[in-house]
Structure 1
Amino acid sequence: MPDEDPCIGPVELRDRAKDMAAAALTTEDRPLLGQFADGLEPWLIVRTGIDLSGLPSTPLDFPPVADRSWWPLGWLTVGMMALAGARLVSYACENKGAAFVNLVARPEKDVGVQLAERSTKPMRGHTDGASFPFPSEFAMGGEVHSPAPDLLVLVGLRNPGDTPTRLAPVSLALDALTDEELHAMEGPWFDIAPQGTFDTGHIRVGAPVLSRREPRHGLSMRFSHGKVTPSHDAPPAAEAALRRFKEALAELYVDVSIGPGDICLIHNRQVIHGRGSPGSGIGGTTRWLLRTYGWMDATVGCPQPGGPSHCHL
């Protein structure tokens, strides 16, 4: 693997990481990764078994830790994404464009009571970057931000309590809707506010939450329990669709375990993801995941002027 910090140059060193990931991939995982890349699997967990015994204490904030103990797993992640036909991306308005971000419990003294409690409680299902455009919308021009992630990638460093990541396929939840409700979800009937980690004031007003126009994998969804609301002039079918979608999700979640050394690749627009309760405790040997985003090779955005090649507006 490259010796450099994977937060620096993950695009430039992608091919090297890809070759090394291909060599490390088991014969069992190789066809599964191909199926994931083709959209035949909504998510995939690759269990690398990599040695993480040298990890430092679990950090207390989002910014990545410049510690060599996790770098090989970081590069394996870049390589696995490349094998799936994707490249690592980040957003200038989200954690300052960091290529990898820590998912950890945070101390009350640093972030306040509300955010500290939120980091130790279950997280409701959503897609990341819900207020950002679909690729087809970005292609039409006039967008403030680049497209939302095609892939969400979670990387296990520590998970002592086996806190589950909760995943639900969008297609199964949509099966609960009537044709009229499905049609309403494709209409300009929803307002979408930015999620908490995205430092932007841009609210998407009068927009669809469901698209059939994306180049990959059929139906594409953007969703958040708290950030997606019917517009003031939305028809009853739009309100009913959102309500029935939420109700259907509750019965569809699958709990998956992301342990040390595991790489979980998720199709962000085809899967709603959430989290079980990590429990109390901060730092030390508490839960520590990394999170990064990916775009499939055909997805384009607006690079941050003067920023690293993976960072976009």
Structure 2
Amino acid sequence: MIDAHFSAAVRSGVAQWMQTNSIEDCQKALADPVQLATELTPPVLAAMIEAGTSLHALQERAWIHPVIHLRNVFEATALPETPSAFVPIPEHPATIAARAAAIVALAMLNAQTVSYGSENDGHLFVNLVVLPGDGDFANKSKGDMRGHTDGVYFPIRGQEHELEKRFAPSPDFVCLSGLRNPDSVSTTVMPLSSVLALLSPKDVEELTKPQYVLRPQKTFRVGFKKLFGSDCQFLKPLPGVQLLFVGDNGHWIRFSHSAAVAEDDSSPASQAIGRFEQACLKCADSVVVAPGDVVIVNNRIGLHGRSEVGGEPGGTSRWLLRTYGLDVEDLSEQQRYSDSVFKLYP
């Protein structure tokens, strides 16, 4: 029932906000997600309490279950044509409501809505759509995606990056707002606890050792080249990386099938990562992000992917908006951009 109460509270809070403000003012408010979250959180919290659900119970759930599915929290009707690029987001009542719903939902989980300057030029929200052409990004936009965590090249919260301490942590949450999904393409979520339950204690131990190599994911590679040059050290394989972390409340993961490998192909570390990948396939749960839905995946205790999208760009093809959420309490000034309330370094 927590998800249902959360959905209803976000729905009523965002609808009331849009009814009492002009579309132009709502659009302007999205430029400062910190202030907008401050404005939207009280009515959403009040609605939650009235429904008998506490904020503590909601936040506790978000760190036990890797996915929160908020159903029908905004109106996704009379949409313009689906974009064919990551940015810009078309300005429309539905996209405004979708972004506002994501911002307040993340704030309720004690997470600020953030972006990274090295991905998509630091835009807070991006379109997840089929891209035109035959390049790497276009092909990736149509295909399926195996289990991964976003921002895998960045450290988990509480850790420093192996090369640059200014790098902010990867996000705590990945947030998807649904605008179109005509073929009901599934987002897949793999609970880390379920995946680890299929591994031996020895394999789990291997994953906690700093013996893996990471590469930045494609969207960040483009940003690194823009920021640091095509020969920068951040584009090279990063050795000595730990993938699995043991905390007070269980394990956290930092992983990507396409960006993480063992330093030695014949080592127990390589065997452990291979068995981890196989376990992910066995533990995938399907979530359909329908129009008007917001799905929040915990990027520490769950991996996510998707089934094949296919189709052609534009028209009425699949269209989600994506943003990130992070507990920013311990961020330093060096890990932020001075000209933005939401953009993190690099």
TM-score (norm 2): 0.81
1:114 offset after TM fit, Å?
A: 3.5
Deviations 1:240-294 (A, max 9, x none): 1101101111111011110011111111011110011112111111100011001
Cα distance in structure 2, aligned partners of 1:56 and 1:28: 38
1:29 offset after TM fit, Å?
A: 7.8
Show the counterpart of 2:245: 211
Instruction: Verify: 1:105 aligned to 2:139, yes or no.
Output: no
Aligned partners of 1:7 and 1:98 also within 8 Å: no
Q: Against the structure 1 CA distance between its residues 153 and 255, is the aligned structure 2 distance closer, same or farther, given a 3 Å change threshold?
A: same
Q: RMSD of aligned C-alpha atoms?
A: 2.4
Segments of structure 1 that go 5 or more residues without pairing to the other structure are none
Equivalent in 180, 197, 212 of residue 175 of structure 1: 197
Equivalent in 119, 123, 128 of residue 94 of structure 1: 119
Task: Decide which structure has greater helix share.
Answer: 2
Aligned partners of 1:11 and 1:309 also within 8 Å: yes
Q: Against the structure 1 CA distance between its residues 139 and 197, is the aligned structure 2 distance closer, same or farther, given a 3 Å change threshold?
A: closer
Cα distance in structure 2, aligned partners of 1:306 and 1:92: 12
1:113 offset after TM fit, Å?
A: 3.5
Q: Against the structure 1 CA distance between its residues 135 and 235, is the aligned structure 2 distance closer, same or farther, given a 3 Å change threshold?
A: farther
- Moved beyond 6 Å, runs of 4+: 28-32
Show the counterpart of 1:163: 185
Q: How does 1:1-313 map to 2 (within 5 A)?
A: 1=17, 3-5=26-28, 7-22=30-45, 27=51, 33-37=58-62, 39-69=63-93, 70-108=95-133, 112-138=134-160, 142-198=164-220, 199-200=223-224, 202=234, 203-213=237-247, 217-232=249-264, 236-300=267-331, 302-313=334-345
Counterpart residue identity of residue 243, structure 2: V
Specify the SS of the correspondent of 1:197: helix
Specify the SS of the correspondent of 1:55: coil
Aligned partners of 2:161 and 2:167 also within 8 Å: no
Q: Against the structure 1 CA distance between its residues 308 and 58, is the aligned structure 2 distance closer, same or farther, given a 3 Å change threshold?
A: same
Deviations 1:44-69 (A, max 9, x none): 10113422213211001001324132
Aligned partners of 1:90 and 1:293 also within 8 Å: yes
Counterpart residue identity of residue 282, structure 1: P
Instruction: Using the TM superposition, name which of 235-244 and 80-89 deviates more.
Output: 235-244
1:40 offset after TM fit, Å?
A: 2.4
Counterpart residue identity of residue 165, structure 1: T
1:212 offset after TM fit, Å?
A: 1.3
Aligned partners of 1:153 and 1:263 also within 8 Å: yes
Specify the SS of the correspondent of 1:246: helix
1:142 offset after TM fit, Å?
A: 4.4
Segments of structure 2 that go 5 or more residues without pairing to the other structure are 1-16, 18-24, 225-231
Aligned partners of 2:30 and 2:36 also within 8 Å: no
Q: Against the structure 1 CA distance between its residues 99 and 265, is the aligned structure 2 distance closer, same or farther, given a 3 Å change threshold?
A: same
Cα distance in structure 2, aligned partners of 1:277 and 1:183: 33
Cα distance in structure 2, aligned partners of 1:24 and 1:175: 37
Specify the SS of the correspondent of 1:18: helix
Cα distance in structure 2, aligned partners of 1:63 and 1:24: 33
Cα distance in structure 1, aligned partners of 2:47 and 2:80: 25
1:307 offset after TM fit, Å?
A: 2.8
Cα distance in structure 1, aligned partners of 2:180 and 2:119: 23
Specify the SS of the correspondent of 1:44: strand
Q: Against the structure 1 CA distance between its residues 76 and 170, is the aligned structure 2 distance closer, same or farther, given a 3 Å change threshold?
A: same
Instruction: Using the TM superposition, name which of 275-284 and 10-19 deviates more.
Output: 10-19
Cα distance in structure 1, aligned partners of 2:52 and 2:79: 28
Instruction: Using the TM superposition, name which of 78-87 and 45-54 deviates more.
Output: 45-54
TM-score (norm 1): 0.89
Specify the SS of the correspondent of 2:322: strand
Aligned partners of 1:49 and 1:260 also within 8 Å: no
Show the counterpart of 2:229: none
1:195 offset after TM fit, Å?
A: 0.3
